[in-house]
Amino acid sequence: MNFEILIASSLDGLTLGFVFGLMAMGLTLIFGVMKVINLGHGPIIVMGMFTPLVLSQAFGINPYFGLPVVIVLGLVTGIVMYFVAVHRVINAPELTTLLATFAVNMILIGTLTILFTTTPQALSLEMGSLQTGTITILGTRVVAVLVAVVATVALYLFLYRTRSGKSIRAVANNRAAAELMGINSTWILALSFGIGTMLAMLSGALLATLFGFTVLSGSGYEVKSFIIVVLGGLGNPTGALLGGIIIGLLESLVAVIPLPVIGSIPFSWVPVIEFVVFILILLFRPTGLLGART
């Protein structure tokens, strides 16, 4: 067994895992606060991929300097989306919000297809790489992890240290009680939706620096987000980060870990494992790996 390949793959998986975690945090935050599964999550990730592309193609802005634009755009998109599609049906049964966000999904994919067609795209980035022995770490990966970590820390500081953040947690905990304490729950729900959308778009922009993409890439990432979110417990952002890292490691390690008898598991079986784990967790530990949220 080649130890260096193992290290390199683990590092790969870990870096990917942080970005996946960020992506799933957007979904889980929205669910945690308002019990809505956002089926528009995929196209929103795609919007995050196309924003730096457009900025760099039209204005020659380096994709990383486009990130603040992604953040602002994500926040605004999420708040608008909340008021247009979710607010009216926030107390309706989950089917209604699922279909409302799915309608947004159709509208977004349709619009993006008209604007960009479905041809494959890629950001052109020259970041160099770090090298030690046979282990190579691409510069884009390093930056992606740094951004993901900073965003996660910022989210925690926001949720635990600011008044708005505390209000979000209060509303998530008990909306009626929060309203009695004078919190404007409509605004807080909209803000949470905005932040969730912002995180999804930011992760999309980071994914675009790592992989090629098309307008239709979103659905794959959306389903992956579901798996991650369930692994970590629906509504639990820390769990999402953990789930993201587990999935990232799984995807990069499964094919290189040698096993007795069968040699190693072919990469095409990775999604099978993921979905089976997903269903088992839903059935036997619906609160996720970390247990009930405190």
* CA pair distance 28, 38, nearest whole angstrom: 9
Pair 123, 208: CB distance under 8 Å:
yes
* Contacts (CB under 8 A) with another protein, residues 52-91: 84-85, 88-89
Tokens linked to 20: 């996946």
Q: How far is the CB of 266 from another protein (least distance, A)?
A: 8
* CA pair distance 78, 87, nearest whole angstrom: 12
Widest pairwise Cα distance in the chain: 63
Q: How far is the CB of 34 from another protein (least distance, A)?
A: 11
Instruction: By CB under 8 A, tell whether 114 contacts another protein.
Output: yes
Nearer to another protein by Cβ, of 114 and 292: the residue is 114
* CA pair distance 71, 189, nearest whole angstrom: 18
Q: How far is the CB of 18 from another protein (least distance, A)?
A: 23
Residues touching another protein: how many (CB under 8 A)?
Answer: 46
Q: Site map for another protein, 252-291, x if CB under 8 A?
A: --------------x-xx-xx--xx-xx--xx--x-----
Nearer to another protein by Cβ, of 110 and 258: the residue is 110
- Which residues have CB under 8 Å from 173's CB, separation 6+? none
Of the chain, the end-to-end C-alpha distance in Å amounts to 42
Q: What is the DSSP letter of 63?
A: T
- Residues of this chain that interact with another protein (CB under 8 A) are 31, 35, 37, 39, 84-85, 88-89, 92-96, 98-100, 102-111, 113-114, 219, 223, 226-227, 230, 234, 266, 268-269, 271-272, 275-276, 278-279, 282-283, 286
